[in-house]
């Protein structure tokens, strides 16, 4: 079977290669084996290949924080998952054709779910939900401001905030995405820039912006914090700029709290039953088309280097996915 390995930390399309390895073998007690149907290339995977992610395992290593698979065999004692089921995997190292994992690490998925959307269920929809739920108790009508609003997380956040009755100010870096974000339910779409805080406050018409959400970091984080009302919260959860987050003394003086967010920490605070309930709900929303992450292109696993180059090009229309076992 084939899998992706990185032999060094560095430029992803230079250090990643598709290699032939032994099959995973049959499932042991409590295990399942599944064929990986699809995995996305997320910003965190790019950081992982570069050696800039918080996890930096010994090399060679296999990237891949999420995937969707079709179960081919289950071991003794596995009662809630059957061959043919679609599953997501809570564990890493998913850039591979086949996985053998503990059944307790699998998230069973509903039928009728598009496998490509299912491949992107584990990380971004849950991140958007927990960003909205874990830091500020939002009331209907409350304003939230977020940057990278055109990302998969940003798009899910627009929809989930709307469901809660909250209003969103969405900061982007290019004009052409505004109509699509408005169609998703974005109340306001603003281009980033030095005067963002003034434009954001104008757009909220004096109503307090209670929650700021940042995944650009650096000075962009400062602009989000300067947009948030006195006593508000800014959550920084990514760094598309590669910089560390900045906050002004003025914002600190206004009682703004800067917090960081990691999905794994947010899920770890919840019971397995709660985690499964979150994913069942989000999977239903993906199946019903309420949540959707646009896809720019798909690649076979043998073309992992081209897929990685594509995922970093910018200006695309969505995610790059890899289909390790052929078209789905």
Ligand X SMILES: NC(=O)c1ccc[n+]([C@@H]2O[C@H](COP(=O)([O-])OP(=O)(O)OC[C@H]3O[C@@H](n4cnc5c(N)ncnc54)[C@H](OP(=O)(O)O)[C@@H]3O)[C@@H](O)[C@H]2O)c1
Active site residues: 53
Residue indicated by tokens 């890899």:
322
Q: Which of residues 41-70 bind ligand X (CB under 6 A)?
A: 42-44
Report the nearest approach of ligand X to the CB of residue 189 (Å): 12
CB 240 within 8 A of CB 215: yes
Distance CA(328)–CA(324), nearest Å, equals 10
The verdict on 261 binding ligand X (CB under 6 A) reads yes
Closer Cβ to ligand X, 97 or 239, answer by number: 239
Closer Cβ to ligand X, 6 or 123, answer by number: 123
The verdict on 174 binding ligand X (CB under 6 A) reads yes
CB 187 within 8 A of CB 165: no
| Range list of β-strands (E), the chain | 2-6, 16-20, 31-40, 68-74, 86-89, 98-102, 106-108, 143-146, 167-172, 188-191, 209-214, 233-236, 257-260, 295-300, 319-323
The verdict on 215 binding ligand X (CB under 6 A) reads yes
Binder of ligand X out of 27, 64, 238, 324 (CB under 6 A): 238
Q: Determine phi and psi for 290, rounding to 5 degrees.
A: -70, -40
How many amino acids of this chain bind ligand X (CB under 6 A)? Answer: 25
Closer Cβ to ligand X, 140 or 314, answer by number: 314
> Which span sits near ligand X by CB under 6 A: 4-12, 92-100, 132-140, 255-263?
255-263
Task: Select the residue whose beta carbon is closest to ligand X and give its number.
Answer: 238
CB 159 within 8 A of CB 290: yes
The verdict on 181 binding ligand X (CB under 6 A) reads no
> Which span sits near ligand X by CB under 6 A: 25-33, 132-140, 223-231, 256-264?
256-264
The verdict on 278 binding ligand X (CB under 6 A) reads no
> Which span sits near ligand X by CB under 6 A: 66-74, 182-190, 199-207, 257-265?
257-265
Which residues partner with 86 through β-bridges? 70
Q: In sequence order, which ranges of the chain are alpha helices (DSSP H)? A: 12-15, 43-50, 115-118, 124-133, 152-163, 178-184, 196-203, 219-227, 249-253, 263-268, 272-287, 304-311
Chain residues that interact with ligand X, rule: CB under 6 A: 42-44, 123-124, 127, 148, 150-153, 173-174, 215-216, 237-238, 240-241, 261-263, 314-315, 319
């Amino acid at each position: 079977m084939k899998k992706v390995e990185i032999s060094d930390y560095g430029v992803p399309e230079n250090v990643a290669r598709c290699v032939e390895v032994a099959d995973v073998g049959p499932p042991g007690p409590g295990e399942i084996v599944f064929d990986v149907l699809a995995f996305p290339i997320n910003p965190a995977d790019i950081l992982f290949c570069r050696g800039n992610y918080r996890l930096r395992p010994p090399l060679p290593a296999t990237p891949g924080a999420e995937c969707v698979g079709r179960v081919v065999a289950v071991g003794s004692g596995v009662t809630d998952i059957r061959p043919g089921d679609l599953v997501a995997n809570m564990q890493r190292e998913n850039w591979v054709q086949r996985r053998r994992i503990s059944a307790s690490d699998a998230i069973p998925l509903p039928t009728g779910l598009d496998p490509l959307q299912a491949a992107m269920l584990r990380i971004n929809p849950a991140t958007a939900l927990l960003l909205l739920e874990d830091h500020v108790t939002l009331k209907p009508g409350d304003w939230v401001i977020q940057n990278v609003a055109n990302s998969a997380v940003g798009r899910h956040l627009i929809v989930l905030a709307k469901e809660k009755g909250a209003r969103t100010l969405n900061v982007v870096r290019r004009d052409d995405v505004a109509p699509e974000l408005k169609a998703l339910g974005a109340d306001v779409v603003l281009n980033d820039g030095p005067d963002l805080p003034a434009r954001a406050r104008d757009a909220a018409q004096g109503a307090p912006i209670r929650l700021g959400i940042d995944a650009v970091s650096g000075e962009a984080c400062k602009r989000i914090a300067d947009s948030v009302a006195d006593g508000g919260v800014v959550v920084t959860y990514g760094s598309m700029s590669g910089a560390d987050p900045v906050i002004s003394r003025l914002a600190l003086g206004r009682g703004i709290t800067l917090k960081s967010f990691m999905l794994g920490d947010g899920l770890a605070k919840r019971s397995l039953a709660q985690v499964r309930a979150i994913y069942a709900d989000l999977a239903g929303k993906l199946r019903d088309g309420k949540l959707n992450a646009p896809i720019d292109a798909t690649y076979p696993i043998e073309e992992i280097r081209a897929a990685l180059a594509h995922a970093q090009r910018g200006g695309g229309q969505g995610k790059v996915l890899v289909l390790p076992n052929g078209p789905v």
